Chains A and B, each alone.
Chain A
Amino acid sequence: MSRSALQLSRREWLRLSAAGVLGGSMSGWLERFASAAADNPQRKRACILLWMNGGPSQMDTFDLKPGHKNGGPYKEIATSVPGMKFSEHLPRLAKHAKHLALVRSMSTKEGDHSRATYYLRTGYLPQGPVQYPPIGSTLSKELGSPSAALPSFVSIAPVPFLSPAAYTPGFLGPEYAPLIVGNQGYNFGQPQPDYEKTLKVEDLQPPGEIKQPQEDARLELLQGLQRDFVAKHPGAPALSHQSAYERAVRLMRTAASKAFDLKDEPPKLRDRYGRNVFGQGCLLARRLVERGVPFIEVTLSSVPGNNGIAWDTHGQNFELVKKLSEVLDPAWATLLEDLDQRGLLDTTLVVWMGEFGRTPQINPQQGRDHFANAWSTVLCGGGIKGGSIYGKTSPDGMTVKDNPVSVPNFLATVAQAVGVDPTKQNMSNVGRPIRIADAGSKPIKEVLS
């Protein structure tokens, strides 16, 4: 195992602690690590995944069938792209239609939350002993830098309850697990409380009663203990432990940790994103992209008044999807505007998806049930031919008529759009190499720019 060039040497570590103990602020040489990534002119692309937990209804978002008995009460609105129409409850997004590529022909056989979530997130079905990693892990591994102060994969307010395996880094190991902001454990169905309190990096700071001088003193004591043991036990486990601590301390102490502090942002901008966990989460995602984090996912899993799994609208579909759209629309539209204004949209891919769609037929509770046969996802931003629609469903929404898209093909497209070769392999835990996107998959040329 090699030590990266930017890894702290023991002497530097001691100097760090000594600087703290003597009452000085963070030593200047640490800050150069944080800025290195952001200012790099050869910065690679980034991906923001907007994950819609529960299976969003395509019939009421991007593939409406007004006039048909399956259509429901929503109206379609025109967008800034002639021929592209979608839900009236996404008006601000409609203005950004020129950035969007709608994929209306997703089709799978998986209608169970657990399996489908796993499938969409990893590109593989859960089977046997192989622990497939999600694309957040595989793509951030290719795009990120192990010596960066910020971790390469950040997950904002995830809800892993129904498919915990899809939220682990799988065979890539804990180094590729995401840093979680807003960890609610395995709660679901509870409206998220105060977003300021929720959107915190878990364990980023010691409990309030431990002040900086004491923290410094503890770290120095720890360093004293490590020295002898690591020297006598060369090898991966001890080095990895030490390295993880060094990176964690760097994250705690340097400007990097300021990335998570939304109070820096102008209040008007925060209003435009929406004062809720998802809206502020999207704002956080933009900040992280600016600071060189290559993969961020933001989950929309609840709105006030919804006690289920967000988009899993088996009942009262139309009220709930309206509420969800009212959170989704400002957040997503502002994110695209914001990225665009900062010159980041060309190199940032934004993916909108859930694990499946919903039935065209409306059930007796005014809801729609799981439906994997024909549903929609959206790609926008860097690497994507905006203002396009790929694939078509039948007039009743029950089947795909043109260009069905499989999950492997979709994820291959995502990889290609951020400049990663989808056929690249990683070694799995059963000795078989596994590609980022399943063998035989092909990116969809028509949506790539």
Chain B
Amino acid sequence: MIRPRFWIAALLAGCLAAPVWADAAPTDAAQRSREDARALAAKIDRFIAARLAAEKVTPAPVADDGAYLRRLSLDVIGRIPSVSETRRFLRDPGSIKREQSIERLLDSPGYVTNFSNIWRDLLLPEANADFQQRFLSANIERWLRKEFADNVPYDRMVRELITLPMQSNRQNMFYNLRTGAPSPLAFYMSKQGKPENLAATTSRLFLGVRLECAQCHNHPFGRWTREQFWGQAAFFGGIRSQGNNNNPFAPLSEVANRRELAIPGTERVVQARFLDGKEPVWRYKADTRNTLADWMTAADNPFFAKAAVNRLWAHFFGVGIVEPVDDFSDKNQPSHPELLDELARQFASHGFDYRFLIRAITLSKTYQLSSVHPESTPPDVQLFARMPVKGLSQDQLYESLIVATGTPNPNANQRRFAFNSPQNIFQAKFTNQEKRTEYQTSIPQALALMNSKMIADATHPQRSEFLAAVTNAPFLDTAGRIETLYLATLSRKPRAEELEHFRRYIEKGGAAKDPKTALADVFWALLNSTEFFLNH
């Protein structure tokens, strides 16, 4: 056993050799990966441009700096940029500042939180609707954070999920759920270990295939038969819930190497079979689900990489190349089939590196297009001639309000469990909607944004620390105060006519004949504006 002193010395030497506060120089592999991302971004633009030319559609111009930074922050770290982040970005004269901001955001903890939240909602949608199930989500969140923080390759993440061993010991299970190693066991538990639920969900999330209809009958429009559904479900056929019916807290066990399943309600027994018809090659002692994971994540699997790439594309562009993103079928042809193939190919050949793919997308000119199209009727959204307007998710809206108003933010995790907190009640009004490009606002949402205590406190000239600071800052004049509020909420500077309009309003003092109250009115209006509420 080497002495501790040796390790300390080695550590110190290591620390002195490369100052930890300097940006780590990218390794050769990282350099190549970034160059490849740039090249792929250029390819994306060529494919998009080719179709636009064929359809004789002009693309929108590139978005200005403020719009770009706001959109990038919302998409990558799940919130709008702060005033200082925006000021710094707008002031930076450098020509590669957009690329640098991508790197900065990918390296920030916000990226990990954002994508963990997104995947938690995908893996465990039950937890948003059922508070009993929310207790299951803590451990899976920890697992997701670790995966994203370590930049675990996507195929390995899926494999870990698919091949997770079941825990049949009830004591152990609850202990582990609360305090133990991060694990996605909750995924299996929330589906009650039912093979049909697991097959349907994994196919939808990782293969882009909606199998649900085929559970009971041959799909009326698509290609999936009942036989195929249960063949897929048979891979999970050994999993058993140890509780009585439908209990998401019951421990799960597994009968090892079970490869067949009886279709419930019938005498029919189906063998485990891949969706593309390939026969599984059962290796000696190979676990059933391992065999499924091998097939799913194989480089030549026709669904896996394309589904992953399509889903990530839809995250950034509001709609996928195939839309809906979990429904690859004859009815939903890809808008740009060669682009989809190329993205899938490169995702796989770069080791399913999520960040590589995010770089390629966000570096493209297509991603940077403005959401304002020159023509009065914008072209079809899947031509990607402009960035469509997207609704915010529940988490994005809340986090953005926190940043814009400087509201103290209790630990986000605690918020999820404090069911009765004003924050949770507010947030519960803004449930996620699948079609973000057709986002609907409701009356209770509008009332909450206009009149709720949370907004009232945030826009009060004294009670809001942020607003009080802006109001009383001696180094700001009225124009400067207005500009700060615009940067905080809309991540841009006011246009000349906007500035003039608000300056005059404030100097007149508004309804209360008091400039401080009038400034609060301006802040309220900005927070309630459509421009704040949407991702554009």
Q: Please give the residue numbers on chain A whose beta carbons come within 8 Å of chain B beta carbons, in ascending order.
A: 21, 112, 114-115, 126-131, 151, 161-165, 168, 173-175, 177, 179-180, 183, 185-187, 201-207, 210-211, 213-214, 216-218, 221-222, 224-226, 229-230, 232-238, 240-245, 247-248, 251-252, 429-432
Contacts and interface: CB of A to CB of B under 8 A. Distances in A.
Contact of A248 (B388, B390, B434, B443): B443
A224 B501 contact: yes
A233 B448 contact: no
A248 B425 contact: no
A128 B200 contact: yes
Contact of B378 (A115, A204, A226, A235): A235
A107 B407 CA distance: 50
Contact of A221 (B376, B389, B438, B522): B522
A245 B376 contact: no
Contact of A202 (B200, B441, B444, B456): B444
A241 B525 contact: no
Contacts of B436: 237
B125 interface: yes
B324 A431 contact: yes
B529 A225 contact: yes
Nearest to B428: A164
Interface of B is mostly: helix
B444 A177 contact: yes
Nearest to B327: A431
A114 B127 CA distance: 13
B282 interface: no
B327 A214 contact: no
Contacts of B529: 222, 225-226, 229
A251 B444 CA distance: 10
13 contacts: A151-B443, A174-B444, A186-B420, A202-B444, A202-B452, A214-B521, A221-B524, A222-B528, A229-B531, A234-B378, A235-B389, A238-B534, A241-B533
Contact of A236 (B200, B420, B438, B498): B438
Given A214-B517, A237-B438, A251 B389 contact: no
B530 A238 contact: yes
Contact of B448 (A168, A203, A242): A203
Contacts, number: 192
Interface string B451-473: 11100100000000000000000
Interface stretch (B95-103, B128-136, B255-263, B288-296): B128-136
Contacts of B531: 225, 229
B442 interface: yes
B364 to A, nearest CB: 22
Nearest to B134: A164
Interface stretch (B50-58, B109-117, B226-234, B505-513): B505-513
Best-surrounded residue of A168, A203, A252 (most CB of chain B within 10 A): A203
A164 B448 CA distance: 19
Given A114-B132, A432-B213, A202 B447 contact: yes
Given A165-B130, A226-B529, A115 B452 contact: no
Given A203-B448, A218-B521, A242 B420 contact: no
A186 B440 contact: no
B125 A164 contact: no
Contacts of B149: none
A307 B144 CA distance: 39
B420 A185 contact: yes
B168 interface: no
A233 B389 contact: yes
Contacts of B517: 214
